[in-house]
Structure 1
């Protein structure tokens, strides 16, 4: 008989703290009270797709964080994490029976928004929901920098490297749509082994829209990014890398280390090339999800620094401030020790236990107050 897996209260508290920190990183970078529509196509924001409001067979649509709270409370929402350059659709033509409560006056459609199958609740090349009730395999989902789709680690066509949370990933499909990226990959990407057999990928999906590579023996014809070498500026970093001729296997997703964007060529010709491909954001370090999350954490810390309790403390004298702070810290320490005992003994904390704890705190405070001598 196998032993039943147990989780201590300390583990639960630690996991809750990690989830709260992760949520703060994503949500604190977006406004939870005001619709983002007036800001236009926001550089990056948390987005949701409402399955309850979208008519059957209707168009893809996305709503901002505030609208997900105020206009779609209790609805069936697909969490899209973050997307770049998106304008809130809430209440526009795509929502036939819904008017936005926060910003009712909107254009019929946001023509510059980009949509994917994520807005219909499916992800990856396998087009499955997340979480997937039929998938028994434990696997992480990783977002592609370019298409912003989420892919299972086992469907990337390569081994997922360590410290993946500090790296950016471009999926194989996006690499092949922009072949000049393979030149950069040969010099800048995180080393790793490609997976020989790609699991669970339908044949009609694995080769869709992939350009054919022309090969002569071992020689791969490098993409010129729609220009001849004569047209390239003398200081072009991409041309220098092409001249070196270093090669790598052009298959599978590519992982990039921190700071790799700063090493891309920013000459006039390369900028035009990136603009034509819709990839100008690759030259922007602040476009990264990590930069957005750090901004969210900073905003959260700034909000916490304006806590109402701190405003009250500002109106007290120094002695009163110290008494309140010491009292708060003592209670927090005692509560942690109190819960720790339950965790170590494997006991369940009941409402009566919590009530008893605060009654003890109240009695202790009365004893302390009775023993104090206040000079007149």
Structure 2
């Protein structure tokens, strides 16, 4: 979530570079979030979807009522024209559209639904409130330009200035766990001392920095002397690997336990997956932390890949199926010529750092019309 302030003036002019960059960013963001979800079919039959784009309808389930979330397709087909809160993505959620939480609305895509989805988890986000400050997004009363970052555990969005730590420069490549979730699961602070990203809240104390070279070494199993170690004990150790978490606790590596913590992209693979730790994560409702495909980055990459695969299915090309071969070629050539000429026309403005005005665009299409008239007369 990144605020995009707009400055209004009597005559708005922007550079072509700004237009192209903004358009590219919006398209990439939309592809990343939406391409991983189905825009035509309600996700309800899939059960509790691992991760999907979600919306809350302020028109159907306003604040004061029960929280509910709807999938991408239902936001289009069942809630068109409604006041929707974009929730970005949530994990393990089943579409609520038209169930018992909706008084006067029936889902158009999948009417037969259980009264409630008991495993869904809801938060203040479903009523348009975010962060520890509980403010809306975008916030008309907040003049501070600040990005919002999602906690990978509670999945709330927090202002960067309310995290209680320094936000890393490469934040888009890292995952964040807010201070409240860290304190709720104190064993995460043990990992934070070893795995947290530099510059985040988990900073080693001066006395611990002396051992930094040792703490940065990869974790490894204790060495066993084969000559004296009983074979039965060696087999038992092979079957029950040592607990990484206990090794870190024994090493007494502690971080300053305050503020949110940022984790590098590979941190999940370094968590202990022994049976005791798996049980601990399950009891805490955090088994997904051992799943690297659970990350928003993995979901976004899947969406981008899906979008790139579908780019070849141009709607114009689909319409050409009803035309004969000669007509198809004429239209395709004309379409490609116009795209190429428009691109060249705009690139001249970009190269010279000039702005494109409405008169420039009108002039371009007038030239195109004149060109077609000349060609039709020959």
Same fold by TM-score greater than 0.5: yes
Q: Residue 257 of structure 1 aligns with which residue? A: 264
Runs (5+) with no aligned partner, structure 1: 196-217, 219-232, 372-376
Q: Residue 14 of structure 1 aligns with which residue? A: 21
Distance in 2, Cα, partners of 1:331 & 1:14: 22
Deviations 1:187-245 (A, max 9, x none): 011022549xxxxxxxxxxxxxxxxxxxxxx9xxxxxxxxxxxxxx5521111111222
Q: 2:82 aligns to what SS in structure 1?
A: coil
Q: 1:240 aligns to what SS in structure 2?
A: helix
Question: Which structure ranks higher in relative contact order (CA pairs < 8 Å, sequence separation ≥ 6)?
Answer: 2
Q: 1:278 aligns to what SS in structure 2?
A: coil
1:331 matched to 2:338: yes
- Normalising by structure 2, what TM-score? 0.79
Question: How far apart are residue 298 of structure 1 and its match?
Answer: 1.1
Runs (5+) with no aligned partner, structure 2: 1-8, 203-207, 209-239
Distance in 2, Cα, partners of 1:10 & 1:185: 41
Q: 1:269 to 1:123 in 2, by over 3 A?
A: same
Question: How far apart are residue 316 of structure 1 and its match?
Answer: 9.2
Distance in 2, Cα, partners of 1:279 & 1:115: 16
Choose which of 291, 300, 305 in structure 2 pairs with 1:293: 300
Q: Residue 96 of structure 1 aligns with which residue? A: 103
Distance in 1, Cα, partners of 2:343 & 2:19: 13
Number of equivalences: 330
Distance in 2, Cα, partners of 1:254 & 1:56: 31
1:273 matched to 2:280: yes
Q: Residue 348 of structure 1 aligns with which residue? A: 357
Question: How far apart are residue 253 of structure 1 and its match?
Answer: 0.4
Distance in 2, Cα, partners of 1:164 & 1:133: 25
Q: 1:306 to 1:345 in 2, by over 3 A?
A: closer
1:33 matched to 2:33: no
User: Residue 45 of structure 1 contacts residue 83 of structure 1 at CA under 8 Å; is this kept in 2?
Assistant: yes
Q: Residue 168 of structure 1 aligns with which residue? A: 175
User: Residue 342 of structure 1 contacts residue 348 of structure 1 at CA under 8 Å; is this kept in 2?
Assistant: no
Pairing 1:1-376 to 2, within 5 Å after superposition: 7-54=14-61, 57-192=64-199, 194=201, 234-309=241-316, 328-340=335-347, 344-346=353-355, 348-350=357-359, 353-364=360-371
User: Residue 62 of structure 2 contacts residue 127 of structure 2 at CA under 8 Å; is this kept in 1?
Assistant: no
Question: How far apart are residue 345 of structure 1 and its match?
Answer: 4.3
Larger deviation, residues 291-300 vs 185-194: 185-194
Q: Residue 219 of structure 2 aligns with which residue? A: none
Question: How far apart are residue 179 of structure 1 and its match?
Answer: 0.6
- Normalising by structure 1, what TM-score? 0.80
Question: How far apart are residue 356 of structure 1 and its match?
Answer: 4.1
User: Residue 168 of structure 1 contacts residue 255 of structure 1 at CA under 8 Å; is this kept in 2?
Assistant: yes
